Structures are given as structure tokens and as C-alpha cells.
């Protein structure tokens, strides 16, 4: 059998950890990314990473972390992989420390930990307020070390287009677009891992980066991979609205003592502290976002009549704020022109994270053999709502599972990708090339970016914090209309070199397919659970919906089926944050 090849798509934390694990196993990796990997969206993670080391003597443990995570996710996550992740937390932090992540320290020179939402424990290690950036850099350096040794080949400015799937339904490689030469190329691989992040751009403006279109996940969904729990979209309670994006103000600001308030009857009203006395400002994100919506829209108490409430740290020591939160306060200063050490920040909820993603088994493989998914693009670890600082952990843990399993899977193959007939490969490459040939010929009246903005407005208005069946139905109709209008796009740029408009048309189509998964999943789920909230069905309905949604692509739109959740370790119980959490 020919030498085996492993392809990793995406150079954020999950992709880089997967790559490191494969290299550590002695195999070579081709690493694909639309941006130089050091510029991946993981840089935007601010607050920290969770691991229950119990270094503050609070009785924390991986078991408590596990319970917090399952409870925070409203019992929708399969429990065994979540338990494994929480158990691995401390070792992962220690590894990052050994790699040189400059985590904040205690006076004794040990790692410092702070609080985050949905827990009572100081469990979050942090590097200022740019923890994701620091972690990404540490992993980027390790991958560069393997690159210097010849084990990693990077294909940066390359966009994943689709998996190459043979007659037996097995993934044998991928096709990618060189974003500069605009040429479609095929790459053979015995395994392919998608570590391509979330779909924030489907919502127009979000806290996500420009590249987070979800296009890769959508492409393989259209090729038969299941998409799990697509309707579970996290809205972060504190972001600063902008013309181009909604910039995140980290939950760590509240972890370090920040308080949310608005004016009521001429007095400061600390609404979270009043509504949720047990957790106060550190309720999980779904709870806090709904509270802000209630305060602003139902009660009409937005600050200065705007859609905004205050996030206040002016009572804290400015020097300590700089040391622990400098990076995030600097974002507010640079983009809003005011110093949060002196004036309270004005914030509003923003689409932030997708708990849903490609369906994977417990070792990160999709239902397409040989095709893996890891990081935000998978659906595995966060149930119906992700706890803050668990995403960095899930990216790294997922990568640590995925890499070794890719090696094991490839070892078990009886036929190598290199032995797959050229017909299969060439057919897929031509199919993708034809897509671009068609895009170049589009000469209609619609503008792709205008269609995208329309999609974003509909998705943000109807498929985020509050969901009503009537509006979800209208949104689905709207998406179908936008797909139709997509056919009438006119291309303004006919250049065959770094043509961002042509690339975007393809991404837009894929976003529309994913938007239907999200919207139809929400429409079908007549209950409220975690981030999915329907005023018409305000209660969690375990009898009908303690189930994973699995969407399968059909030409008539997503076909939904439901799979039981493994709740064998912690029995589901009602989720409340106004009172202390009962033991699991």
C-alpha cells in the first residue's frame, strides 16, 4: 500500500492540535487553511480555558466540571465524551503551560484561575484577555517545528470545496480552491479532518471572523454528512455593535467582578443579580442574553433609549484590570473611544457560537468513513448551550482524540487513497470546477453581498434569542427565495486571480443551505432548551426532545431525524440559576 496521507482542513486550535497529534504519531500532514494559520479565528477567544485543578481549594474536580457542563448544556450532550473532556482538562492546561502559553500567575508563580459563567468555581486559566490568541500561537509554533522537520506541508489561502468520496461511500481526499490562482485542485488523503470552525457569518454580523462562513461543513453536509443540533446557536450577552462585526466583550469581565445594570426609576438596576441571586452576573450566556432582551424589549429599559445595557468594571482597581483584562478593555477603547476603567461599557447580545455542527461519533468521525470533524464545526461537547471557556478546551480535547483516531483508522484500511481510481478523483474535481465556471458566467442583477446581508438580518431577527414558529416558517421561505435569487447574481469581477467575489458566491450558497438546517431544526423543536427558546413552548420537553437533531441533505431541504442522547451518567434534572445547583 502506498504511503498514507492525512489532510487537515483549518488551522485554528482544533486543526493544529489534530495536526500535532498526527505528527507525533510519526505521520505527515497536509494542512489547508483560507488564511495563514496564525490568523485563524481562535485568536478571538478572550477569557480563558476551563480545567478543574482545584487550586483555589474550593472543592472543584473534573466531576463537578462535568456536571456544570452537562447542566449548562441542558442535558442535550452525550455524556461520555463530555466526561472524558473534563477529565482531560488539567493535563491540557499543563501541556499548554509547557508549550509556553503566558498564562497569568499567582504570586507563588503558579497558574492563576478565575471564574466564568455557569459555575461557582475558579476554574478558568487565562493569558490576559487574549487567551485564544496566546494558545493559537503556542500550537502554531509546535506545528511550525514539524513544518521545519518536513512533516507538515501548509496550503494557506486554500479553500476546502468538498470531500472526494469513492463508490463505497468512503472519503478519499478533498478538493480545494487556490484562492489566488482560482484553480481547483484534488488532494488524495486516507483521512480528512475538517476543523473549519463555526457558521457565524450566516447571521451576517456576529462575533465571528470573516472566514467563519460554515462553507466547508455545508459542503460535506450536501455530500451526505449529517449535521447535528444545528438549531442550537449561542448568543453572547455582551458585545459591542459595529458596522462590520459585533465585537465580543468577554465573559471574563464579569468573572473578574463586572456587573450588568441599566437605569430603572432613576436608579441603577443590577438586573441579573436580582433575577438570579444564586449566580448573579455569572449565569450562563443563554440566560443572560434572554434577560437583556427582556430588559430592553419587554420593559423598554435600554440605556439612552438604545438597544444596550451597561457592563460595569469602574469599581475595580484599574491596574488589576489592565493585568487581567487589558486585551478586551483595549478593544472597547479602540473601537468605542472610551475607557471602560472610567465609564461603564455599553453592550448588547450578539450571535457568538454554534453548539451544533457536523454529527460525529465519540472519536470525531462523521457518518462518512474517513471524514472527521473537530472543534466548533462538530456538535459533540456543549449540548444546548456552551459554558464560557469550554470551547478552547473542546477544540484541544477534540484534536487530541481526532489525530490518533485518524492514524488508527488509516492503519485499518485495506485499500489506500492512492489506489482509488483516477475516475473518482477527476469526476469530483471537474464537478467543482464546473461550479466555478458557472459562477464566472453569472450576469444577473443581484449582488451576492446584498443577498448575504438580507440573510443575516432575517437569521438574526428570527433565529437567535427568541424563536416563534410563524417567523421561523417565514425565514425558511425567505431562505428559499434567496436561493432562487442566488441564481440571478451578477459577477462584477471577472478576474482569474484572487477573485474574492467569486469565492464568496460559492460560500453564500453553502451558507443558505446551512441556514435552512438551523431554521428548520428550530422550527421542528417545539420546546425550550438551553439557547433554543420558544415563548410558545417555554418548558423543556424531555419526553419528546431529549434527542439530538440529525439533518440529512435532500434536494427539497433538510430531512430531520432524532437520536437518543446518552444520559447514562447524570440523570436529567430541571435547570435553574436563580437557586443553587443541586448535586448531579
Partner 1 sequence: MDPIRLRVKRQARPDAEPYWEEFKIPYRAGHNVHSLLMEVQLRPLRADGTRTSPVAWDANCLEEVCGSCTMFVNGQIRQACSALVDTLARPIVLEPMKKFPVVRDLAVDRSRMFESLKRVRAWVPIDGTYDLGPGPRMTEEVQQYAYALSRCMTCGCCLEACPQYNDHSAFIGPAAVGQAILKNLHPTGPLTKEERTAELMGIGGIVDCGNAQNCVVVCPKEVPLTRAIGDAGRETTKKFFRDIFRR
Site for partner 1 in 120-139 (CB under 8 A): 127-128, 130, 133-134, 137-138
Site for partner 1 in 46-85 (CB under 8 A): none
* Cβ proximity of 229 and 356 under 8 Å: yes
Minimum separation from the CB atom of position 544 to partner 1 (A):
40
Closest C-alpha to 67, from 141, 134, 109, 123: 123
* Cβ proximity of 31 and 155 under 8 Å: yes
Minimum separation from the CB atom of position 47 to partner 1 (A):
14
d(CA 580, CA 584): 12
d(CA 337, CA 328): 13
C-beta closer to partner 1: residue 240 or 384: 240
Q: Give the phi and the psi of residue 582 in degrees, each rounded to 5.
A: -80, 155
Element (H, E) at 15: helix 13-24
**Contact with partner 1 (CB under 8 A) among 28, 61, 94, 486:** 94
C-beta closer to partner 1: residue 117 or 204: 204
Strands 29-33 and 152-156, sheet pairing: parallel
d(CA 10, CA 14): 8
Site for partner 1 in 235-264 (CB under 8 A): 242-245, 247-248
Site for partner 1 in 323-362 (CB under 8 A): 323, 327, 331, 334-335, 337
* Cβ proximity of 482 and 446 under 8 Å: no
Site for partner 1 in 441-470 (CB under 8 A): 447, 449-450, 453
**The cell 471572523 sits on which residue?**
209
180 is known as an active-site residue: no
In the chain, what are the helix, strand and coil shares in percent, each to the nearest 5?
A: 40, 20, 40
Q: Is 542 in the site for partner 1 (CB under 8 A)?
A: no
Site for partner 1 in 374-433 (CB under 8 A): 400
Q: Give the phi and the psi of residue 304 in degrees, each rounded to 5.
A: 55, 30
d(CA 396, CA 207): 21
Q: Alpha helices, DSSP H only, in 443-493? A: 448-462, 469-486
C-beta closer to partner 1: residue 138 or 420: 138
Closest C-alpha to 89, from 71, 64, 56: 64
**Contact with partner 1 (CB under 8 A) among 153, 180, 470, 573:** 180
Minimum separation from the CB atom of position 335 to partner 1 (A):
7
Under rule CB under 8 A, how many of the chain's residues touch partner 1? 73
Minimum separation from the CB atom of position 381 to partner 1 (A):
19
C-beta closer to partner 1: residue 255 or 327: 327
C-beta closer to partner 1: residue 256 or 286: 256
Minimum separation from the CB atom of position 350 to partner 1 (A):
12
C-beta closer to partner 1: residue 111 or 514: 111
Q: How far apart are the first and last CA of the chain?
A: 50
Site for partner 1 in 467-506 (CB under 8 A): 492-495, 497-501
Minimum separation from the CB atom of position 255 to partner 1 (A):
18
Site for partner 1 in 199-218 (CB under 8 A): 209-211
State the DSSP string of 292-361.
Answer: HHIIIIIS---GGGSS-EEEE-TTS-HHHHHHHHHHHHHHHHHHH-S-TTTSPEEEEEEEEEES-EE---
**Contact with partner 1 (CB under 8 A) among 2, 141, 444, 582:** 141
Site for partner 1 in 7-46 (CB under 8 A): 17, 20-21, 24, 35-36, 38-41, 43-44
C-beta closer to partner 1: residue 244 or 298: 244
* Cβ proximity of 230 and 358 under 8 Å: no
The three-class DSSP label of residue 159 is strand
261-268's contacts with Cβ under 8 Å and 24+ in sequence apart are 261/309, 261/310, 261/312, 261/344, 262/295, 262/296, 262/301, 262/302, 262/303, 262/309, 262/310, 263/301, 263/303, 264/299, 264/301
Site for partner 1 in 145-174 (CB under 8 A): 145, 147-148, 156
C-beta closer to partner 1: residue 248 or 287: 248
107-112's contacts with Cβ under 8 Å and 24+ in sequence apart are 110/55, 111/53, 111/55
d(CA 113, CA 56): 8
C-beta closer to partner 1: residue 295 or 508: 508
d(CA 111, CA 301): 40
Minimum separation from the CB atom of position 219 to partner 1 (A):
20
Minimum separation from the CB atom of position 113 to partner 1 (A):
13
C-beta closer to partner 1: residue 449 or 562: 449
Minimum separation from the CB atom of position 21 to partner 1 (A):
7
* Cβ proximity of 174 and 194 under 8 Å: no
Site for partner 1 in 268-327 (CB under 8 A): 323, 327
C-beta closer to partner 1: residue 103 or 203: 103
Catalytic residue among 5, 285, 506, 529: 285
d(CA 356, CA 347): 25
What track of x and - describes contact with partner 1 for positions 95 through 124 (by CB under 8 A)? x-xxxx-xxxxxxxxxx-------------
Minimum separation from the CB atom of position 452 to partner 1 (A):
9
Minimum separation from the CB atom of position 45 to partner 1 (A):
10
**Active-site amino acid positions:** 285
Amino acid at each position: 500500500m502506498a504511503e498514507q496521507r492525512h489532510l487537515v482542513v483549518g488551522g485554528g486550535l482544533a486543526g493544529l492540535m489534530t495536526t500535532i497529534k498526527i505528527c507525533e504519531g510519526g505521520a505527515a500532514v497536509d494542512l489547508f487553511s483560507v488564511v495563514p494559520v496564525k490568523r485563524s479565528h481562535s485568536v478571538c477567544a478572550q477569557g480563558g480555558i476551563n480545567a478543574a485543578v482545584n487550586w483555589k481549594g474550593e472543592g472543584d474536580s473534573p466531576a463537578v466540571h462535568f456536571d456544570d457542563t452537562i447542566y449548562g448544556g441542558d442535558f442535550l450532550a452525550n455524556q461520555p465524551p463530555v466526561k472524558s473532556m473534563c477529565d482531560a482538562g488539567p493535563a491540557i492546561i499543563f501541556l499548554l503551560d509547557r508549550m509556553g502559553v503566558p498564562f497569568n500567575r499567582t504570586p507563588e508563580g503558579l497558574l492563576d484561575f478565575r471564574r466564568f459563567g455557569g459555575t461557582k468555581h475558579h476554574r478558568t486559566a487565562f493569558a490576559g484577555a487574549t487567551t485564544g490568541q496566546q494558545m493559537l500561537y503556542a500550537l502554531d509554533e509546535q506545528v511550525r517545528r514539524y513544518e521545519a522537520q518536513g512533516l507538515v506541508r501548509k496550503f494557506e489561502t486554500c479553500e476546502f470545496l468538498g470531500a472526494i468520496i469513492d463508490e463505497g461511500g468512503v472519503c478519499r481526499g478533498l478538493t480545494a480552491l487556490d484562492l489566488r490562482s482560482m484553480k481547483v485542485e484534488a488532494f488524495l488523503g486516507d483521512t480528512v479532518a475538517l476543523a473549519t470552525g463555526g457558521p457565524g457569518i450566516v447571521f451576517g454580523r456576529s462575533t465571528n471572523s470573516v472566514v467563519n462562513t460554515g462553507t466547508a461543513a455545508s459542503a460535506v453536509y450536501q455530500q451526505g454528512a449529517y449535521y447535528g443540533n444545528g438549531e442550537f446557536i449561542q448568543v453572547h450577552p455582551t458585545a459591542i455593535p459595529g458596522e462590520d462585526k459585533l465585537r465580543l466583550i468577554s465573559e471574563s469581565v464579569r468573572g473578574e467582578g463586572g456587573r450588568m445594570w441599566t437605569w430603572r426609576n432613576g436608579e441603577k438596576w443590577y438586573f441579573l443579580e436580582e433575577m438570579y441571586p444564586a449566580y448573579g452576573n455569572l449565569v450562563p450566556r443563554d440566560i443572560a442574553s434572554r434577560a437583556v432582551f427582556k430588559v430592553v424589549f419587554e420593559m423598554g429599559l435600554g440605556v439612552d433609549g438604545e438597544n444596550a445595557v451597561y457592563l460595569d468594571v469602574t469599581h475595580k482597581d484599574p491596574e488589576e484590570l489592565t493585568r487581567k483584562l487589558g486585551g478586551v478593555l483595549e478593544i472597547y477603547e479602540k473601537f468605542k473611544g472610551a475607557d471602560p476603567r472610567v465609564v461603564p461599557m455599553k453592550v448588547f447580545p450578539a450571535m457568538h457560537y454554534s453548539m451544533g455542527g457536523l454529527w460525529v461519533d465519540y472519536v470525531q468521525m462523521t457518518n462518512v468513513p474517513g471524514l472527521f470533524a473537530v472543534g466548533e464545526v462538530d456538535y459533540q461537547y456543549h449540548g444546548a448551550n456552551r459554558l464560557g471557556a469550554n470551547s478552547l478546551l473542546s477544540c484541544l480535547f477534540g484534536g487530541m482524540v481526532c489525530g490518533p483516531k485518524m492514524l488508527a483508522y488509516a492503519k485499518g484500511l485495506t485499500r489506500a487513497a492512492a489506489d482509488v481510481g483516477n475516475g473518482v478523483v477527476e469526476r469530483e474535481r471537474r464537478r467543482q470546477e464546473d461550479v466555478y465556471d458557472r459562477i464566472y458566467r453569472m450576469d444577473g442583477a443581484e449582488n451576492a453581498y446584498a443577498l448575504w446581508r438580507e440573510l443575516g438580518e432575517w437569521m438574526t431577527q428570527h433565529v437567535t434569542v427568541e424563536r416563534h414558529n410563524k417567523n421561523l416558517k417565514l425565514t425558511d421561505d425567505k431562505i428559499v427565495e434567496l436561493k432562487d435569487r442566488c441564481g440571478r447574481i451578477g459577477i462584477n469581477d471577472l478576474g482569474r486571480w484572487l477573485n474574492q467575489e467569486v469565492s464568496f458566491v460559492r460560500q453564500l450558497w453553502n451558507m443558505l443551505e446551512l441556514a435552512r438546517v438551523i431554521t428548520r431544526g428550530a422550527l421542528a423543536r417545539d420546546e425550550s432548551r438551553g439557547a433554543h427558546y420558544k415563548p410558545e413552548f417555554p418548558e423543556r420537553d424531555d419526553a419528546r426532545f431529549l434527542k439530538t437533531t440529525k439533518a440529512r441533505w435532500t434536494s427539497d431541504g433538510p430531512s430531520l431525524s432524532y437520536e437518543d442522547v446518552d444520559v447514562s451518567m447524570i440523570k436529567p434534572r430541571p435547570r435553574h440559576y436563580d437557586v443553587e445547583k443541586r448535586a448531579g
